[in-house]
Structure 1
Amino acid sequence: MFFRVMYEIFVILLVITYAIVVFADPASHPRLTEEFMNQADVILISFLAAEYVIRLWLAKDKKKFVISNWFDLVAMIPLDHYFYLARFMRILRLVRILRASPFLWSMLKSKPMQRVIGVVTLIMLWSSGAIYLLEAGINENIVHFGDALWWSIVTTTTVGYGDISPVTTGGRIMATILMVTGIGTLGALTANFAHHWTEFQEGKGQTPEEHAHAEKKMRALHQLQQVEQLTQKEYESMMKTIEELYRERNGEER
């Protein structure tokens, strides 16, 4: 369990680091040269390739594994020397890193977490757009939309660096609304993250495949309990589910 947790922490840090590199502006960061980016891509592709080979080796049905994980192979294609594809391929690899973490991927596929992330994103974009319209051209610290987005993040997290603050009445009203709503939504986000992390440490977290398999088992058990009341169609559905579970257990191709 210790190594599993350390692996998840490593992947989380890798996601954060690579996201910063991918979305950073090279013009503002002289060290982010094309040579540096290519070296980072080589290291990342090597890690993803090793992780893919290990999972392929452990898979019972190799053919089914390759077909169902085609995205992993696409993300490892080294097309970065084509400049117009470099950013696109790096975004694909960022998604691929997320898939390498059972904890992160299952958390992002969770309906409650998706709703919370959606609400937080909506509030951030709405407040950023509003403050940009109210303050741009008046507030010397808000020149681009990125400045407004940075202000929204700082205000929502209650960090309050003070580098950007609204100067208009409308901007201050907007800031007040964001302070009140932002604290609640951010609290919901961190609470969901903590809940998933606790379940993961206790071994209760499930990958999407494990969750789907468990649902099939529960459906089959429920139908078996009511076997005397089943119609012909329901009986055939039950037998099909049992057959799928049997094939999954024995590593056979559907």
Structure 2
Amino acid sequence: MAILAIFSIILIVLDYASVIDINVGLWMWVDNAILIIFAVDYFYRLIKAKDKVSFIKHNVFDLLSIIPVSSAFAIFRIARIARLVRALRILRVLRLVGLTGRIKKILHTNGLIYLLYISLVFLIIGAVSYSLSEHVSLGESFWWAIATATTVGYGDISPHTIVGKIVALLLMIVGIGIIGMLTSSITTYFVKSDSDKDQSSDNKKFEMIMSKLNELEKQNKDLKSEISALKQNSTED
């Protein structure tokens, strides 16, 4: 399944790069075959799942990745929608590397999700402010804002006004904060996971020891009862 997912993504990338046309010929049949295999895999696991609602909730990426978009399915004949939906197949990799159940937990570790919300707001405001102050297009402003916030800083676009420089400074600080918080949250999550595993293992060992002690105590009581009975019979004799 991992090989098929990676091969499917390669096909999508080549299609976007106009190297091949995934909607006609041999590549269309290959893509459809991979789609059918993943669809069968998804619905098989859905049928086998005891809690189907929980399965659907925790496998949303898999469901999105099996939406049919090839020319054989007329409902998705709108080209741009088809290309967008096909790109969702990249989400298959998230499940294959075990991230689907972890992304939400990582985002809520140390309040990372709230920092991302705030950073997104700063990014939008910064891009709009830069566009107005530097008199450049909104598209170029967003490109500059993202490059600055990620601390990449290509230098192809740079601020010349005071407002633009202040916005750049704020975005740099926000970008450094995001990288630091992201690293911290991922580290905290995995350390906590290992700690929980160790604690769970210790709890299991403790329960096993207590179970053995209870069993020995019960055997000791039974042995005492037998000895008492033997003594009583011996006295009567």
- TM-score bracket, normalised by the shorter chain, equals 0.5 to 0.7
For residues 100 and 170 of structure 1, the distance between their equivalents in structure 2, rounded to whole angstroms, comes to 45
Q: Which residue of 2 aligns with 1:65?
A: 52
Q: Which residue of 1 aligns with 2:119?
A: 120
Q: Which residue of 2 aligns with 1:79?
A: 69
Give 1:88 shift: 4.8
Change (3 A) 1:176 1:44: farther
Structure of greater Rg: 2
Q: Superposition pairs for residues 175-190 of structure 1, below 5 Å?
A: 175-190=168-183
Aligned equivalent of 1:31, options 8, 19, 30: 19
Structure 1: give runs of 5+ residues left out of the alignment.
1-6, 138-142, 206-254
Give 1:132 shift: 2.0
Q: Which residue of 2 aligns with 1:191?
A: 184
Aligned equivalent of 1:106, options 99, 102, 107: 102
For residues 28 and 117 of structure 2, the distance between their equivalents in structure 1, rounded to whole angstroms, comes to 33
Moved more, 94-103 or 176-185: 94-103
CA contact (8 A) 1:131 1:174 kept: yes
Give 1:35 shift: 4.3
Give 1:155 shift: 1.2
1:164 paired to 2:190: no
Change (3 A) 1:107 1:170: same
- TM-score, length basis structure 1: 0.51
Give 1:39 shift: 7.6
Higher relative contact order (CA 8 A, sep 6+): 1
Structure 2 SS opposite 1:113: helix
Which digits, 9 at most, give the CA deviation of each residue in 1:34-89, with x for residues without a partner? 549958954763674475367458x453xx43784285446413133333241453
1:45 paired to 2:35: yes
Structure 2: give runs of 5+ residues left out of the alignment.
198-237
Which digits, 9 at most, give the CA deviation of each residue in 1:163-216, with x for residues without a partner? 22112222112111212232113311232233334556x3859xxxxxxxxxxx
% identity of equivalent residues: 28
Give the root-mean-square deviation of aligned CA atoms.
4.3
Q: Which residue of 2 aligns with 1:213?
A: none
Structure 1 SS opposite 2:125: helix
For residues 94 and 153 of structure 1, the distance between their equivalents in structure 2, rounded to whole angstroms, comes to 22
Change (3 A) 1:44 1:191: farther
Q: Which residue of 2 aligns with 1:150?
A: 143
CA contact (8 A) 1:98 1:105 kept: no
For residues 114 and 168 of structure 2, the distance between their equivalents in structure 1, rounded to whole angstroms, comes to 23
Which digits, 9 at most, give the CA deviation of each residue in 1:81-128, with x for residues without a partner? 333241453355455654555434432254333223322322222222
Structure 2 SS opposite 1:165: coil
Q: Which residue of 2 aligns with 1:134?
A: 133
Residue identity in the other structure for 2:77: F
Residue identity in the other structure for 1:69: I
For residues 32 and 159 of structure 2, the distance between their equivalents in structure 1, rounded to whole angstroms, comes to 44
CA contact (8 A) 2:65 2:92 kept: yes
CA contact (8 A) 2:127 2:142 kept: yes
Give 1:134 shift: 2.0
Change (3 A) 1:122 1:34: farther
For residues 144 and 38 of structure 1, the distance between their equivalents in structure 2, rounded to whole angstroms, comes to 37
